[in-house]
Structure 1
C-alpha cells in the first residue's frame, strides 16, 4: 500500500489496524516473508494435502528454501536465530494457510532445537546443515500406554555393544514415516540418576521401524500416525546428552517450543478461518435484497466477536514468546516459567473451536460444504485434545494458583 492509498483510505473513514497490534515490534519483515510463503506455496497445496491425506513435503521444502528450516538455531550454525518470538510469528503465519504444514514445521523446529541444545558439537555439525537444506526432523515421544501424558514413557533401551537396542511403541508422531530423523524419548533403566529419560536419534530408514497410516478428522496431512521400533539398534554416537537425565531438556526445550508452537498454530487457524469468512461475506450478494452478507449487522457483530477472541489469544501469545526470549537472554531456566505457556495453549485451543464455528456460521451453507472454512474447523479441533490436554493444563494452572505442587 502506498502513501496515497493510505491517505485515500483515511479520507474514506476506514480504520486501519495498527501493525503493532498484530505483530511484535521488529518482526514485521519476518511476518511479511512468512505470508508470502503461505500465499505462494502453502495455500495452493493445503486442500490437496487435506483431501488426499498427503504429507506436505513440497510445502516444508519451500519453508526451508525461504530460510526457515532452522529458525531457532544460532546464526553461526546457519540458523535464523529468531528465538521464541520469531518462531511464534512464523508458526502463526504459516497456519493461516495450511495447518498441517505449520504443525509439521513446529514439531520439526522443536526436534531440531532439542538436538542442538542437548547434542554435542559433532552431532550439530552432522545434522544442522541438512536441516537448513530441507531435511525434516520429528519428535517421537507420546506412547499408547500413557496417552496424553507424553512426558511419561514406558519404553526402554538396553545396552548392546557400542549402542542401544530400542523397543518402543509410539502413538502420535507428527511426520511419522516421513521425517528424515526423529528425536525419540525412552528410558534407560541402568542410568545412575533417578531420571531415566534418554533421547536417541533414530533415522527413518533403519531396520525394525514400522509406521502406520494416519486417518483423522483434521490435520490430515500431518502423517501423525503410530510408529513401532522393534529391536532397533542405535549407535552411541546417536544418543543425545547423557544416559538418563534428559527431563531437563524436556522441560526447558521440548515443552516450551511445543506449547508455544501449537498455540501459535491455533491462533493462525482461527485467523485464517475468520479471514475466509470475511472474504466470503463481502463477496456473497443476495439477489433478492441487493445486499452482501457483510451488509447485515448480525454478521458484522459475529466477525467482531471472533476477531476479539483471536486478538486476545495473539496478545497472550506474543507476550509469552517475548517473555521466554527475555528468560533465555538472562540465562533463566525456561522450566520456571511454564505457567504462561499452559495458559496460552489452553486459551488458543479453546478460542480456535469457537472462532472456527463462528466462521462457519457466518459462511452459511457454503461454509458447511467441504472447503476452506470447514477444513479450518476440523484442523482446529485437534488443539484441545492434543497432550497436554486442556483439562490437564487447567489442573496445573489451578494447582499453581492455590500454591501446591503442580506436578505429582
Structure 2
C-alpha cells in the first residue's frame, strides 16, 4: 500500500521533515485534501485500471466533484488561487495513488486552459460549466508522420460552406475515445499567417471519429491510443483561435501546462514508489539476522539518495509553478518560463527512472512481482519518451546556453 506523506508522526528523538520542504507555503490544506482523495478514491481503482486497461472515469469524476475540474483558469471562471502551484500540488499528490488518473487530469486541465486562453467568451460559456461538473477534455496533437514533434502537423482542415473539413490521423491521444471533447491541432491550408497551425474543437459524438484500443507498458488506464478524424465537419463556431497562428498557444499555454503537470506526475510517481519501498523495508524482517531490511545501512543510503533526487525535482517544480503564477498575475506570457520548464521536465523524467529502479531494488524479489512498486516503475518510464522527448529538450537547453535559436532543426 502507498503510504501518505501528509502526517508526520511525533516520536522522541526522530527528526521531523519540515512541511515547507514537501509543500509550498499556503497549500498544506490543499495537499492534505488531495491525499485524502487519493487514498479514498484513486488508490482503490488504480490496480484494476492498470490490469484491465480501464479508463479511470470514476476517479476523474471524483476529482471534478472535489472542485478540481479547471484549477488553472481564473478564479471567477472556476479556477483556484495561484492555480499553477495548486495544479502542481494536486498532480503530484494524485500521482502517488493513480498515475493514469493524474495524467488524464493533467491533459484535461491543459485542454481546458487552452480553451479558456484561445477561445471566445461564447465557447467558454458553452464548455467550461460542463468540465466543472465532470466532462473530460483532451488534446489531439501528435501525428504518426512527425512523431514526438507534436508541434508539427501534416493534417489539414480546408474551409467549406459549413466550416472546416477535418482529416487527421493522431498517434497518442490521452483519453482518446473517452473524452467529451477534443481540441485537435491541424493546419489551415489557405492561412494568411506563416504559422498555419489551427485548433478545432471536436465533440465526442461527431460523425467520422475513430479511436483504437491502447495497450502499453505503463499508464495503462489513460487510453492514450491513436485516433482518426475522417471527413469530420467542424462548424465555424468550433474553431479555437484563428485560421492559423495557433503556435502562439503551443508556446504560451499547451507546453507550459503540459510540461509543468507531467513533471509533477513524475515527482509523485517517484515519491509513491519510494514510500512503498520504505514501507516494505521497515516491515520485512529477516529471520536469520533479526534485522528489518531498513536496518541495513546500504538500504538506508539508497533511500536517502532517492529522496534527495525527488526533493531536487520537487523544488524545481514548485519554483517554476510560482513563476508561472507570477507571470499570470503580471499579465506576462507563460513562454517566459519555457527554459526552466524544459529543465524541470527533463530532470523529473530522468529522476523517476532512477528512483523507481532503486525502489524496486530495495523491495527485492517482492518488488518484482506485480504490484505497486512494479507499476510505478512502468508508469514512470513514459516520461522521458513523451514529446518533447528528453533528447529534444536537452538540445533546446543546449542551444539556449550557446545563444542560438532553440527551434531550429532538431
* 1:127-276 alignment, distance < 5 Å: 127-276=127-276
Q: Across the two proteins, how many residue pairs are aligned to each other?
A: 402
Question: Contact conserved, 2:82 with 2:325, CA < 8 A, in 1?
Answer: no
Q: Secondary structure of the residue that 2:244 maps to in structure 1?
A: coil
Moved >4 Å (runs of 4+): 5-8
Displacement of 1:8 after TM fit? 5.4
Q: Which has the higher mean CA deviation after the structures are superposed, 77-86 or 160-169?
A: 77-86
What is the rounded CA distance, in whole Å, between the counterparts of 2:81 and 2:248 in structure 1?
A: 22
The answer (yes or no) to whether the contact 2:71–2:78 under 8 Å persists in 1 is no
Deviations 1:156-192 (A, max 9, x none): 1011213110000000000000000001110001111
What secondary structure is seen at the aligned counterpart in 2 of 1:313? helix
Report the alpha carbon displacement of residue 328 of structure 1 after superposing the two structures with TM: 1.6
Distance (whole Å) between structure 2 residues aligned to residue 268 and residue 191 of structure 1: 42
Match of 2:308 in 1: 308
Superposition deviation, residue 82 in structure 1: 3.9
Verify: 1:320 aligned to 2:320, yes or no.
yes
2:365 is matched with 365
Structure 2: tracts of 5 or more residues without a match: 1-6
Deviation, structure 1 residue 333: 1.5
Say whether the 8 Å CA contact 1:182–1:203 is kept in structure 2.
yes
**Contact (CA 8 Å) 1:79, 1:132: kept in 2 or not?**
no
Q: CA deviation at 1:220?
A: 0.2
Residue 288 (structure 1) shift: 1.8
1:284–1:166 distance in 2 versus 1, CA, 3 Å: same
In structure 2, relative to structure 1, the CA distance for the partners of 1:172 and 1:329 (3 Å cut) is same
- Cα deviation, residue 285, structure 1: 1.1
Q: 1:302 to 1:80 in 2, by over 3 A?
A: same
Q: Is the 8 A contact 1:141 1:170 kept in 2?
A: yes
Check conservation: 2:8, 2:17, Cα contact below 8 A: no
In structure 1, stretches of 5+ residues that fail to align are none
Deviates more, 1:173-182 or 1:78-87: 78-87
Q: Distance in 1 between matches of 2:123 and 2:321?
A: 27
Give the alignment's TM-score, normalised by structure 2: 0.96
1:34 is aligned to 2:31: no
Report the Cα distance in structure 2 between the residues aligned to 1:29 and 1:155, rounded to whole angstroms: 45
What residue is the counterpart of 2:279 in the other structure? 279
In angstroms, what is the RMSD of aligned CA positions? 1.2
